């Protein structure tokens, strides 16, 4: 008979060999729960993250920009759905996850609690927010849970397009009038620091990093990912001709890294705990969309039930 110790040994060997854990495999409860927490939070972020950008669909400056933005927002919905599917393989239902989000029992990324005040914000989100998301998600393509890793491969491809469309919006503004350049700078001033916060608390303050890295759910720590993001983004800011709103930002010749100033962790934790600029509006809007969509779910279920009934009576007839 196989014992728990044997299952644990097989799990450890799979992680040690850098192979994937699949839904059919035994896994420790802590591993399963950590994945459900992280994947659900990630899925919720994609879905709530549609709101700030959708706010500008009706006001996009050209038909082409409008079409691109609609496609991007739809992509984010798709990412949410792949991720909910990945979470479902761990034994939770999508309805349960929605309920936990609506009751404030599960989180979503702090970044989506900031308002989009101008068209330049849409460019800044693509460049900085999708840019930060990609740095994190490239790492997650190598995560140890198979369904999560595979979802990340597709998501990263789409996010690359998102980041480019953001940068393209900002390039156009950078080449524009003084007023447009001021709008661009203002958006960067407001989105820079929240983008750095997306990577989570410092490693020394992070609750989950050590264990998640042992399980190879995370493969690079919060601080190291944040540094990678800053290093790749500062030269892009120079090319755009915008200033990064950080007087302490400087290039450190010895390490070859762009060193940056202190993050406002009080603002981060207030936002994570539900007291950011837009937390209440975001959740209220999400709950309303869920309630308004009840008839669609009921109709789809009725159709599925009817179809299942027809299929079973047809197979009875055939028998």
Q: Which residues pair with 252 in a beta bridge?
A: 257
**Residue 200 in contact with ligand FAQ, rule: CB under 6 A:** yes
Q: 155, 84 in Cβ contact below 8 A?
A: no
Tokens for 5?
């110790």
Dist CA 268 CA 255 (whole Å): 27
Residues 289-318 that bind ligand FAQ (CB under 6 A): none
- Least spacing, CB of residue 144 vs ligand FAQ, in Å: 13
Q: 283, 102 in Cβ contact below 8 A?
A: yes
Q: Which of 54, 92, 98, 109 binds ligand FAQ (CB under 6 A)?
A: 109
Residues 63-82 that bind ligand FAQ (CB under 6 A): 76
**Residue 152 in contact with ligand FAQ, rule: CB under 6 A:** no
- Least spacing, CB of residue 177 vs ligand FAQ, in Å: 27
DSSP label of 208: S
Q: Which of 65, 107, 216, 282 binds ligand FAQ (CB under 6 A)?
A: 107
**Residue 144 in contact with ligand FAQ, rule: CB under 6 A:** no
Helix (H) or strand (E) holding 250: strand 250-252
Q: Which residues pair with 258 in a beta bridge?
A: 251
Dist CA 271 CA 305 (whole Å): 42
**Residue 199 in contact with ligand FAQ, rule: CB under 6 A:** yes
E strand intervals along the chain: 250-252, 257-259
The owner of tokens 């989100």 is 125
Q: 281, 115 in Cβ contact below 8 A?
A: no
Dist CA 35 CA 41 (whole Å): 10
Residues 244-273 that bind ligand FAQ (CB under 6 A): 272
User: Per-residue x/- marks for ligand FAQ, 7-46, CB under 6 A?
Assistant: ------------------------------xx--xx--xx
**Residue 201 in contact with ligand FAQ, rule: CB under 6 A:** yes
The owner of tokens 């659900």 is 40
Q: Which stretch binds ligand FAQ (CB under 6 A): 55-63, 200-208, 255-263, 281-289?
A: 200-208
Query: Looking at beta carbons only, is 46 or 246 nearer to ligand FAQ?
Result: 46
Q: Using CB under 6 A, list all residues that contact ligand FAQ.
A: 37-38, 41-42, 45-46, 49, 76, 107, 109-110, 125, 129-130, 133, 136, 197-201, 206-209, 212, 218, 222, 272
């Amino acid at each position: 008979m196989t014992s728990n110790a044997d299952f644990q040994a097989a799990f450890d060997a799979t992680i040690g060999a850098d192979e994937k854990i699949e839904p059919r495999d035994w896994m420790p409860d802590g591993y399963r729960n950590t994945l459900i927490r992280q994947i659900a939070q990630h899925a919720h972020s994609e879905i709530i993250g549609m709101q700030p950008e959708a706010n500008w669909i009706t006001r996009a400056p050209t038909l082409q920009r409008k079409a691109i933005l609609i496609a991007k927002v739809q992509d984010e919905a798709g990412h949410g759905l792949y991720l909910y599917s990945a979470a479902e393989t761990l034994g939770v239902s999508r309805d349960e996850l929605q309920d936990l989000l609506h009751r404030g029992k599960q989180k979503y990324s702090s970044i989506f609690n900031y308002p989009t005040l101008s068209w330049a914000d849409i460019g800044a989100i693509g460049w900085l927010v999708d840019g930060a998301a990609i740095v994190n998600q490239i790492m997650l393509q190598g995560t140890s849970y198979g369904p999560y890793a595979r979802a990340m491969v597709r998501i990263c491809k789409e996010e690359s397009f998102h980041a480019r469309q953001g940068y393209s919006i900002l390039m156009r503004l950078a080449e524009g009038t003084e007023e447009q350049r001021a709008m661009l700078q203002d958006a960067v001033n407001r989105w820079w620091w929240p983008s750095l916060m997306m990577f989570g608390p410092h490693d020394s303050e992070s609750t989950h990093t050590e264990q998640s890295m042992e399980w190879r759910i995370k493969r690079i720590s919060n601080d190291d990912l944040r540094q990678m993001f800053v290093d790749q983004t500062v030269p892009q800011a120079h090319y755009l001709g915008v200033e990064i709103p950080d007087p302490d930002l400087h290039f450190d010749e010895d390490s070859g890294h762009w060193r940056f100033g202190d993050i406002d962790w009080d603002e981060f934790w207030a936002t994570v705990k539900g007291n950011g600029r837009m937390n209440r509006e975001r959740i209220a809007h999400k709950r309303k969309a869920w309630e308004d969509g009840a008839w669609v779910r009921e109709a789809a279920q009725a159709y599925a039930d009817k179809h299942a009934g027809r299929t079973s009576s047809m197979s009875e007839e055939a028998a």
